[in-house]
Structure 1
Amino acid sequence: MHLLLSLCVVWLLPMAWTLEGNSLPRRIISYQQDNVDLFQEEGVFNYSTMLLREDLGLLVIGAREAVYAVDLHNVSIKFASVKWEATQAQTDDCGNKGKDPETECKNYIRVLHEMGDNRMYVCGTNAFDPQCDFMSYADGTLTLENKAEDGKGKCPFDPYQKFASLMVDDDLYSATSMDFLGSKSALLRSLGVSIRTDETERLLKQPNFVSLVHIPESVNSATGDDDKVYLFFSETAVEYDYYNKVVVSRVARVCKGDLGGVWRLPKKWTSFLKARLECPILESWRLAYIIQDAYRWCDPFKPWTDCLIFTIFTPQDASDLSAVCVYNMLDISRVFTEGKYKTPVTVEIKETEESFVKWVMYSGEVPFPRPGACIDDAARKANINQTLDLPDKTLLFVKEKPLMDNVIQPVGKKPSLVRKGATFTRIIVNQVQAADDRMYHVMFIGTENGTVVKAVNYDGEMFIIEELHVFKSPEAIKILRFSIVTDQLYAGSDSGVVQIPVATCDRSSTCIDCVLNRDPYCGWDKETGKCVALSQLQKKLIQSVQDGDASLCPKSAPNTPVNQSIWVGGNLKLHCTNPSIHAATIWEQDGRTLSPTGRHYFLKDDLLIINTSDSDAGLYSCLSVERSKTNEYTSTLAEYQVNVASSAIAPNVAPNDAPNDAPNDAPNDAPNDAPTVAPNVAPNVVGLYAAIALFVIAFLGLLSWNVYNGHFTCIRRNERT
């Protein structure tokens, strides 16, 4: 039994380390004020709404009770602002209804869209009484027109409730709650011909809305099809409701030209259909992962069928894995245009005389025009020129059977990225042409800890380039935007907005580090000896994003060793920072690899030598060893020439007692006749390592106890009696 326990422990730990290693970025960049441009106003919170006005050189930001116009090239520069506060009467009424007057009963700007006439449409929660208005920017001034409109159905009542909105040809599409309690929800089109979902749980049941995207399917359509608006959300599944309440991810679709029906479904969507989205994570035995964000990426030079939807999925339980699943727009469309429908069937239980509704695949006749389809050339040939002309049979079918039977799978039927750690919150994607002339989708993913993860999927291989801390304190990133004009990323949180360059090539100081970082934005310039951003004029840059082939790099010039001197019996610390988390750090003395001993301690970024002796003199090299897909590469990060001065030179000086004229912080290049005496940290280090050893022993004991008691599946459970 003890042997079995030991084998299980040995097996479990590498499994945990492997999972963590697969999700580790190559480098983690801690927060530094110089890394980002920051915008924030004292006393203002919730910078969760953004509108890029690249035509005006502006980033328009919606926050709590304020809208700001800042410089698109430097968000720390504010051009204009306008306050929009809830009135005292509205605040009091909100408080009397049980909401917090200091937080909930404020006006949170949640909707911000550009109109065709260059104005902006803005909506706020307004103390649980949503309102909308028009806003303009001219002569450096933001101006609200004070034409307050009812925001019900356009903007949520609750500032913390998830919702989605989209402006298409001056029509506002919004998916949000319709009442104060948040118990009724709808997908609604307003500003033009108003239309909404029917009030039935078959369409939306306790939904959490994520995103709305517009797909121009009418462009060059061979069938005269209409544009579509797709809604991504999660909800309680009606098809599983009899057994238990299961939350699933969905995508729904409506036609842009939908005008509703006449007698049946008047001013209601006649084209609303929905289907289930699946993002199959490795932990298939857990509850399904739920969609949290969706981003549409389309190549402007290719048809809509090549559009991709990048989504974030997170677990419903305590698992700390997040995933990115990518869906092909053509695959989604085919489910609605060619897929089977589900139909509700009433099942009676004779023993209890109870009944329940079960959803099964519909195998009967499908009427013409196809339920949920947009008006196309085939419908027009039958004198059906708009949804108002649709026959009652088609309308009744789509009203009763809005759910598709087919489940939509991601590209490759697996996630493009799975990571263990801080939960993903938002995603945005940019396409980059690398030096190999191939196009790559670079994903920028916000997390709940205020970091931005930069990642690429190279033909099925997940690779996280870096993780950047963009806020001083950990806080969830609530919105991400990207500007093609500035090549900058913008991230918003409760405390402010930051601007981040997408290319951070200068963080690599060597060719090997630049190539192994596998960043499609960056390559090594042999002429300047720098890692620089790629451009059309720099195709000869050294880059290997697919394989990380650092053998392409020229041979680097030898390092100039830094002189270090120390008394016999002193303590010496040699500094070396490895630029890659994927790499191992190795220390050598005169070409001989060092191992941890009672006097040599390997710290995170340092080698510590205590109680030095004459044998510690020599050339010390700090090496980085990193494996890519092609090979293992070793580079020298730092070199030190260490000289140990005999205590006979200064007989009155104790080994660990530095005189006042030989300070501990003497410069690294101090001459041999003025040796540096490092602080006496040996007792502290020994105590630290003793504590670590005790912790490891305790951890292994606890792990063994859990395994012995059957808490891990690697041990066969005891047979039940």
Structure 2
Amino acid sequence: MRRLDFIYIWLAGDFQLVLSVGFIDTPILGSKNNNPRLLSKDFISGGLEYQVNHSHSVLFYNEDFEEMYVGGTNSVLKLDVDDYHIIEKFPLKARGQQQCKEGPCEYVTTVMEKFQDSLFVCGTNGHKPQCWKLFSSVNNQSHEIVESYEGTGISPFVYTQNSVSLTVEGDLYSAAPLDAKGSSLQFRRKAGGRTNVWMYDNWVSEPTFIAASWVKQKEDPDNEKIYIFFREKNTDHSPEADPWISRVARVCKVDGGGSKSFFQNMWTSFLKARLVCGFPEESLYFSRLQDIYVMHAEKWQDTRVYALFTSSWNATAVCIYSIGMIEEIFENSTFKGYDKEIPIPRPGMCVKNSRSLPLATVNMVKYYPEMSDWVHSVHNTAPFYVSSYNYTKIAVDQVKAADQHTYNILFLATDSGKIHKVLEAGSEPFIISETQLVSHSFIQSMKLDSKRKKLVVGFSEKISTMDLQKCQMYHSCEDCVLARDPYCAWMNSGCRPTDLGGIQNLMDGNISMCPSLLRDQNPVNRTKRESLSSLPVDSRTVHTVPQGVPFYLSCPIDSYHAVYTWEHGSLSSPCLQMQSNCLHLIPAMAQENYGSYECLSKEKGYTKRVINYQLTEHHQRTEHNIPAPKTPTERDKTRSRKNDASTIVPPIVWITIGQAVAALRMF
């Protein structure tokens, strides 16, 4: 639930009432660091409501073939990527249900990978993991499900157990427990054309695998590696040591294990190193790796790893690494705990015939797989982004901006169903917007559709899609440029998806290129008469109010990076923020309170008149002409019948001090 931060009512000496209501998850106006510029609830462009809630779901998206699959409980759904309706439903019932002794006997999907000639689906199968091959339809016939593999070591026994999977050139790699207790968790090559290999038990300590990624090297495919990202229990149990250490490990794609006499079917190329995210000068680190997104590049060394970390002090951070920097550690660092001469070939090197490696090299991998040096982020002395929000998942998109440069956009999912859209432009993050997809629901899965510029998000009750280039929400050139949204640029026809001829400034949101007459007239220095005359007559809301009654004005917040003020004659007063509105409260209408009120927002030298009110005095001739105050129910019915600007602009409400106090008690 949204938690109340503070409420107070202050009666000053002149009996003016001031109320302030704030919430810990609502940004403070004018604050820019770690706060979204814009809050939005209208990014959702489609989705699918499940008939039955899923305790766990997996998304699989094949961008090349525009195929979207959702694996849930007892079924896999194929969705249309245009409107996300169900094309086909494939039932996957648990087998051997009579053997289930604990928990629900269901088939909960945990793995979906494109494997060889089919979609490979694995699940819990009532605590007896089972995998299937889902073949594509031929000649418009239905898909066919064929039982294929016993799933132990690929799927966990229950969906809450840790697992990870990856397919590479027809080979399946996975990490999943070998028994119902969740033990023997290690990364293996489990199936395919190459030899099955697995890890040596002493290499990791109670690991939690986060992701695995294959990085291609077109010029040297035999030197390609598979990178494994995980966290493990710290063997240092001293009080000051963090209980977790985050790691990156690698194995060679061509690794076929050792000889028959030594290390047969074991990785001969496994090496691991510590991933550092934090402030090294203060010895302050984010040690719990939470999620990974790998942004592949044309030049393999430039491939970027975006890593999401949490800490013991309830903060999260994003650190960015390059594969080139990771390889630098694996190829040049000394080996932790080893002080003798390093054998040749160097342990961890990729060789076509791993069975021919000398015993000394394989022994080094067996007993000293950890690098002495740590892998630092590209920003080295600090994370790219630190926040008090509890992020759980990350995805990253690339966008070519109007300046023809490519920018990366991070999408960070919170634990309460929100998505933060963060611009990476230079070394400083900029939070473009926050989108509330659902009310306080945990995000189970998230897939980026970069081609269609959509983010697909899975919840227990539904699939939601978020439009990444919702440019029509920026109504002026200044709004469009200040947003620093690489998906959008200002054109003659308005704010539109980025085009070469558009106006855009992603580095600092400089609006100097906007052809706005309002900006050229320097609105900060204009007289009140000039300011009012520039507003269309029909943009002013006129209200007739009797003397002596309390009254408040409401102004919608367009940007949380702006500062809002109310202007009345020569007087200026700050707005009283209440969630997504700025209020101006008049405790009792007097002669000096009538006239014009303007709500102004000021951001980076740009002043915008958001709304204008004209208050005129209402003269009551007789008591018989005074209408009885409407009840809240009657007011709601009246508002629901209106089809005018009141549906866009928050309505003005007559209140008494007692009503204000009663309203506050509702929070």
TM-score, scaled relative to structure 1:
0.78
* Equivalent residue, structure 1, for 2:100: 94
Give, in whole Å, the separation in 1 of the partners of 2:48 and 2:283: 44
Distance in 2, matches of 1:651 and 1:549, equals 57
**Aligned counterparts of 1:20 and 1:603: Cα–Cα separation in 2:** 14
Per-residue CA deviation, residues 663-697 of structure 1 (Å, 9 max, x unaligned), is 97698999xxxxx99534332226778x89xx9xx
Match of 1:275 in 2: 273
Instruction: List aligned pairs for 1:403-422, cutoff 5 A.
Output: 403-413=370-380, 414-421=382-389
Counterpart amino acid of 1:256? K
Name the CA shift for 1:253/1:334 in 2 (closer, same or farther; >3 Å): same
Change in 2 beyond 3 A, CA 1:173/1:142: farther
Q: Answer whether contact 1:255 1:374 (CA < 8 A) is retained.
A: yes
Inter-CA distance 374–551: structure 2 relative to 1 (3 Å threshold): same
Structure 1 residue aligned with 2:614: 641
Q: Do the aligned residues in 2 keep the contact of 1:186 with 1:197 (CA within 8 Å)? A: yes
Match of 1:436 among 395, 399, 403: 403
Partner Cα separation in structure 2 for residue 677 and residue 270 of structure 1: 73
1:505 to 1:195, Cα distance in 2 relative to 1, 3 A:
same
Contact 1:576 1:605 in 2 (8 A): yes
Deviation, structure 1 residue 283? 11
For residue 326 of structure 2, give the secondary structure of its aligned residue in structure 1.
helix
> Does the 8 Å CA contact 2:278/2:284 hold for their aligned counterparts?
no
Equivalences for 1:515-594 in 2 at 5 Å? 515-525=481-491, 527-528=492-493, 530-535=494-499, 539-553=500-514, 554-556=516-518, 558-559=535-536, 560-594=539-573
* Distance verdict in 2 for CA 1:282–1:420, change over 3 Å: farther
Question: 1:161–1:18: structure 2 CA closer, same or farther, 3 Å change rule?
Answer: farther
Given candidates 287, 292, 295, the residue that maps to 1:294 is: 292
Task: Provide, for residues 53-94 of structure 1, a one-character-per-residue CA deviation record: whole Å limited to 9, x for no partner.
Answer: 33443211111111000011221x11001110213x33x423
Q: Which moves more between the two structures, 278-287 or 444-453?
A: 278-287
Amino acid corresponding to residue 399 of structure 2 in structure 1: V
- TM alignment of 1:262-411, pairs within 5 A: 262=259, 263-280=261-278, 288-299=286-297, 302-315=298-311, 317=312, 319-343=313-337, 362-375=338-351, 385-411=352-378
Shift of 1:412: 1.0
Note if contact 1:185-1:204 (Cα within 8 Å) is conserved in structure 2.
Answer: no
Query: How far, CA to CA, are the matches of 1:245 and 1:546 in structure 2?
Result: 37
Q: 1:246 to 1:169 in 2, by over 3 A?
A: same
Q: Give the CA deviation at 1:109.
A: 0.9
Question: 1:270, CA displacement in angstroms?
Answer: 0.5
Deviation by residue 1:427-462 (Cα, 9 ceiling, x = unmatched): 111111222222211001112111111001321212
User: 8 Å contact 1:272–1:372 — kept in the other structure?
Assistant: yes
Partner of residue 460, structure 1: 427
Residue pair 1:133, 1:144 contacting (<8 A) in 2 also: no
- Read off the aligned partner of 2:125 and give its amino acid letter: N
Give 1:231 deviation, angstroms: 0.3
**3-state DSSP of counterpart to 1:428:** strand
Superposition pairs for residues 617-656 of structure 1, below 5 Å?
617-627=594-604, 632-647=605-620, 650-652=621-623
Could you list the per-position Cα deviations for residues 326-379 of structure 1 after superposition, in whole angstroms to 9, with x for gaps in the alignment? 101100011111111112xxxxxxxxxxxxxxxxxx23111111111101xxxx
Q: Distance in 2 between matches of 1:436 and 1:561?
A: 39
- Out of 218, 224, 230, the residue aligned to residue 227 of structure 2 is 230
Q: Please give the per-residue CA displacement for 1:172-228, whole angstroms capped at 9, x wherever unaligned.
A: 111222222112111111222343333422x121000000000113x224xx75110
| Letter matched to residue 358 of structure 2 | P
SS at match of 1:45: coil
Kept in 2: contact 1:47–1:496 (CA 8 A): no
Deviations 1:143-171 (A, max 9, x none): 34332311111122220122211111110
Change (3 A) 1:53 1:198: closer
- CA 1:142–1:23: 2 relative to 1, 3 Å: farther
User: Post-superposition shift, 1:304?
Assistant: 0.2
Gaps of 5+ in 2: 1-23, 519-533, 646-650
- Correspondence for 2:150: 150
Count of matched residue positions in the alignment of Structure 1 and Structure 2: 609
Q: How does 1:74-85 map to 2 (within 5 A)?
A: 74-75=83-84, 77-85=85-93
Per-residue deviation at 1:573?
3.6
Is 1:36–1:470's contact at 8 Å kept on the other side of the alignment?
Answer: no
Q: How does 1:505-520 map to 2 (within 5 A)?
A: 505-520=471-486
**CA positional deviation for 1:392:** 1.3
Letter in structure 1 aligned against 2:81:
L
Alpha-carbon separation, structure 2, partners of 1:25 and 1:405: 39
Q: Tell me by how many angstroms 1:52 deviates.
A: 1.3
Whole-angstrom distance in 2 between the partners of 1:180 and 1:594: 64
Query: In structure 2, what is the equivalent of residue 250 of structure 1?
Result: 247
Answer yes or no: is the 8 Å Cα contact 1:324–1:418 preserved in 2: yes
Q: Measure the CA separation in 1 of the matches of 2:121 and 2:201.
A: 29
Query: Aligned in 2, Cα 1:474/1:488: closer, same or farther, shift over 3 Å?
Result: same
Q: Is the 8 A contact 2:200 2:266 kept in 1?
A: no
Q: What residue is the counterpart of 1:614 in the other structure?
A: 591
CA gap of 1:550–1:389, structure 2 versus 1, over 3 A, is same
Give the equivalent residue in structure 1 for 2:8: none
Query: Equivalent residue of 1:543, what SS?
Result: coil
Matched, 1:48 2:57: yes
Match of 1:113 in 2: 113
Quote the Cα distance in structure 2 between the aligned partners of 1:440 and 1:655. 61
- 2:44 counterpart letter in structure 1: N
CA distance, structure 1, for counterparts of residue 265 and residue 575 of structure 2: 76
Unaligned runs of 5+ in 1: 1-12, 344-361, 376-384, 671-675, 696-721
- Displacement of 1:657 after TM fit? 5.2
* SS of the residue 1:403 aligns to: coil
What secondary structure is seen at the aligned counterpart in 2 of 1:294? strand
Q: Equivalents in 2 of 1:641, 1:507: separation in Å?
A: 27
The separation in 2 between residues aligned to 1:478 and 1:341, in whole angstroms, is: 38
Q: Taking structure 1 as reference, are residues 462 and 19 closer, same or farther at Cα in structure 2, changes over 3 Å only? A: farther
In the alignment, is residue 488 of structure 1 matched against residue 454 of structure 2? Answer: yes
| Letter of the 1:314 counterpart | T
* Aligned partner of residue 85 in structure 1, secondary structure: coil
Give me the whole-angstrom Cα distance separating, in 1, the residues matched to 2:626 and 2:280.
58
Structure 1: how far apart are the matches of 2:361 and 2:37? 55
In structure 1, what is the Cα distance between the partners aligned to 2:113 and 2:543? 62
Map of 2:40 onto structure 1: 29
Find the aligned partners of 1:130 and 1:506 in 2 and give their Cα distance. 48
Which residue identity does 2:588 align to in structure 1? N
Note closer, same or farther for the CA distance 1:287–1:298 as it changes in structure 2 (3 Å cut).
closer
**TM value normalised by structure 2:** 0.84
| Structure 1 contact 567–655 (Cα < 8 Å) conserved | no
One-letter code aligned to 2:292: A
Match of 2:656 among 681, 688, 706: 681
Distance between the aligned counterparts of 2:551 and 2:330, measured in 1? Answer: 69
* Distance verdict in 2 for CA 1:520–1:127, change over 3 Å: same
Residue 100 of structure 2 aligns to a residue whose secondary structure is: helix
